[in-house]
A = this chain, B = another copy of it.
Amino acid sequence: MKAIEVLDDQQLQLTDAEKPQLKPGEVRVKVKAVGVNRADLLQAAGHYPPPPGTSEVLGLECAGVIEDAGDTGRAQGERVACLLAGGAYAEYVAVPEGQLMPIPDGYSFEEAASVVEVACTVWSNMGMLAGLEAGQTLLIHGGAGGIGTFAIQLAKHLGLQVAVTAGSEEKLNICKQLGADILINYKEEDFAERLKNQCDRILDIIGAKYLDQNVKALAQDGHMVIIGMQGGVKGELNIGRLLSKRGTISATALRARELEDKARIVRSTVENVWPLLEDGTIKHHIHAVLPLEQAQRAHEMLKGGEVTGKLVLSV
């Protein structure tokens, strides 16, 4: 089969590869479309190695058709979306059955392929871990990105007040159109001053650079969840301030979870989020679709920082 390989100079190139073999409990999916994630950029740069025992090929989400159901009893030809530890930048990928999801009604392969990571990430952190409740205030950093746009819509549906940060008026306008209530241009304003002691929940992709400000912004009994470290890995934590608020900080990732844990998240996401995709409550925006062989160009676009919504590779 064809698959994208990361060359020594970190360039991406389409090459021939072995079709993946199935382990017990896995199906082989013929990939139709792949979502591109920031984590793929990290992995291509050598910073985010795949968990032991998983594919070396990039690609954390896809949609396609079951080509070989293995020992699972699933139907050959079934259309599926897949949460993956890797392997989607290819014509075929092996998928543990617990990570298969139906294609949401009315969704194309491209739309389904690119909604899996964001839906599972936002739901597992905000729905399952931190718990969002009507009347709370949620702060979302990078409101106009893939995670941000999704989280704004989910939180507004659940009845929260939503504050966002972004780096331009254009991006803040996107957030506003999706329902965000408080818009902060981080280049012009200190979000921690504006939102001091007000944020019941924070969804953070920045990490170290925002740690102290996030603790300032937290409300009593607040819970911040860090899912990215675009602003560095080590930061000073003011435990005294956190304690005075009875605050909680979690840091999580999807990829290295046990199969059972992933299956639990996938089930809960399909149950709680798929209906919101199907009835249009949450709108999923694709920035562009490129053919798989242009994976290198897609990565460059994402690095450029001007992508709003998701990039998809079609296979």
Contacts and interface: CB of A to CB of B under 8 A. Distances in A.
Interface of A: 207-208, 211, 226-227, 229, 232-240, 242-244, 246-253, 256-257
Contacts of A256: 244
Contacts of A236: 234-237
A207 to B, nearest CB: 5
A204 to B, nearest CB: 9
B253 A239 contact: no
15 contacts: A207-B240, A226-B239, A233-B239, A234-B236, A234-B238, A234-B239, A234-B240, A235-B236, A243-B251, A244-B253, A246-B251, A247-B251, A248-B248, A248-B249, A249-B250
This chain's copy number in the assembly:
2
Nearest to A252: B246
A224 to B, nearest CB: 10
Given A246-B251, A250-B248, A237 B235 contact: yes
Contacts of A239: 207-208, 211, 226, 229, 232-235, 251
Given A207-B240, A208-B239, 16 more contacts: A211-B237, A211-B239, A226-B239, A226-B242, A227-B243, A229-B239, A229-B243, A232-B239, A233-B238, A237-B249, A242-B251, A246-B253, A247-B251, A248-B249, A249-B249, A249-B250
